[in-house]
């Protein structure tokens, strides 16, 4: 890694992803020179630590990026659309975890284990987008299988943790569980229905085609990242889990891949961990994926209803791997290969 020190800004530093970004930068020993925490005016003046030193949070403005080399955006898409151009104008490369720029043809959409070369396209607008956390773990798991057998079709159902919605959703699940266990009827404010002890087959708003925005992200982002016109259909479900998205994935390939071959391919793939011993009740669990960076893959079996089909169960920490680590990995490649 480069010996130079880089000045970093984190937009949305007080959010779930922002706090995880800080932790990942520390753990991975990213060569940080100065670090600037940016958030709304309500958080300005408060402090967060970086490697044991208190850093004051500053209010996000269009003048916040002078002297910054890399700006991590972990805020909402509205702020990313408004402030990324200002950051680039000031000389900072933006790495955005929101959905603001993902489908912009001039902005690379990057998962380092899958399409690291796309990072070179940052110079178009000074922005690198990261996909939805559900997309990240799916393409990391499917990359080695696609390289070997050329995936034709994907059917995916996701079971997504509340942390993807932010701190208010985490608090609401906790509160609802306590209320129900005390025989009280809880209120639902973050989601349209109670999430505790329930499953909601809606993530994001519904589109005209009957799919939700989250489901269409899985379709559109996967095609862009893998640069392939794969047929994809998705169902996204919110479940009462704090951290860790789980996915049931069925694929159809042009070239036959046996279950044994799939296990071997995934066991050697970057970013993947094979967790697949059903006889011993060993398979990926959200509780085990939480807090680590690997995409766990198991329950690998052939789908005998089609000629070349496979089923997989894929789990990852949606906040850590599905947002923060992916963004930091992009920054590591950026400073190693592209920035001077």
Q: What integer pLDDT is reported at residue 237 of this predicted model?
A: 98
**What separation in angstroms does the CA of 102 have from each of 61, 111, 127, 169, 220?**
23, 12, 10, 24, 9
C-beta pairs of 193-201 under 8 Å, 24+ apart in sequence: 195/162, 195/169, 195/238, 195/240, 196/240, 197/240, 198/240, 199/159, 199/237, 199/238, 199/239, 199/240, 200/237, 200/238, 200/239, 201/235, 201/236, 201/237
Tens of pLDDT, residue by residue over 30-49, are: 999 999 999 999 899 999 99
Q: What integer pLDDT is reported at residue 185 of this predicted model?
A: 96
**Domains of the chain: which residue ranges?**
6-131+323-337, 134-318
Q: Give which of 295, 313, 314, 311 is closest to 258, Cα–Cα.
A: 311
CA–CA separation, 212 vs 322, rounded Å? 19
Domain 134-318 top-level CATH class: alpha beta
Q: Verify whether residue 94 is a known catalytic residue.
A: no
Q: What integer pLDDT is reported at residue 2 of this predicted model?
A: 54
Q: What integer pLDDT is reported at residue 340 of this predicted model?
A: 82
Q: Give which of 265, 314, 267 is closest to 149, Cα–Cα.
A: 265
Q: What integer pLDDT is reported at residue 3 of this predicted model?
A: 77
Q: What integer pLDDT is reported at residue 150 of this predicted model?
A: 98
Point out the residues of the chain with pLDDT beneath 70: 1-2
Q: Verify whether residue 174 is a known catalytic residue.
A: no
Among candidate residues 84, 94, 146, 245, the one labeled active-site is 245
Among candidate residues 24, 94, 133, 272, the one labeled active-site is 133
CATH placement of domain 6-131+323-337: 3.40.50.720
CA–CA separation, 150 vs 253, rounded Å? 5
């Amino acid at each position: 890694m480069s010996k130079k020190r880089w000045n970093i800004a984190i937009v949305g530093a007080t959010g779930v992803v922002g706090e995880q970004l800080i932790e990942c930068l520390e753990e991975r020993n990213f060569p940080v020179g100065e670090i600037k925490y940016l958030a709304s005016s309500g958080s300005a003046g408060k402090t967060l630590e970086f490697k044991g030193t208190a850093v004051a949070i500053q209010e996000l403005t269009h003048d916040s990026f002078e002297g910054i080399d890399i700006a991590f955006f972990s805020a909402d898409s509205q702020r990313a659309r408004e402030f990324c151009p200002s950051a680039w104008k000031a000389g900072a490369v933006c790495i955005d975890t929101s959905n603001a720029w993902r489908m912009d043809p001039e902005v690379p959409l990057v998962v380092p284990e899958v399409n690291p070369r796309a990072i070179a396209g940052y110079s178009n607008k000074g922005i690198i987008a990261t996909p939805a956390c559900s997309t990240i773990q799916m393409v990391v798991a499917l990359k080695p299988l696609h390289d070997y057998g050329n995936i034709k079709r994907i059917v995916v159902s996701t079971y997504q943790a509340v942390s993807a919605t932010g701190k208010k959703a985490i608090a609401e699940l906790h509160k609802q569980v306590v209320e129900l266990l005390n025989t009280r009827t809880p209120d639902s404010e973050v989601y349209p229905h109670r999430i505790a002890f329930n499953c909601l087959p809606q993530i994001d708003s519904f589109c005209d085609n009957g799919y939700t925005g989250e489901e269409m992200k899985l379709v559109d982002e996967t095609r862009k990242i893998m640069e392939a016109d794969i047929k994809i259909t998705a169902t996204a479900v919110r479940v009462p889990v704090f951290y860790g998205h789980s996915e049931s994935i069925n694929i159809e390939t042009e070239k036959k891949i046996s279950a044994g071959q799939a296990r071997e391919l995934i066991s050697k793939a970057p970013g993947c961990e094979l967790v697949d011993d059903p006889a011993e009740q060993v398979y990926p669990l959200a509780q085990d994926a939480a807090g680590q960076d690997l995409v766990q893959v198991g329950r690998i079996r052939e789908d005998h209803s089609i000629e070349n089909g496979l089923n997989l169960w894929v789990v990852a920490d949606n906040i850590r791997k599905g947002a923060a680590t992916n963004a930091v990995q992009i920054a590591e490649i950026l400073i190693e290969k592209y920035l001077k």
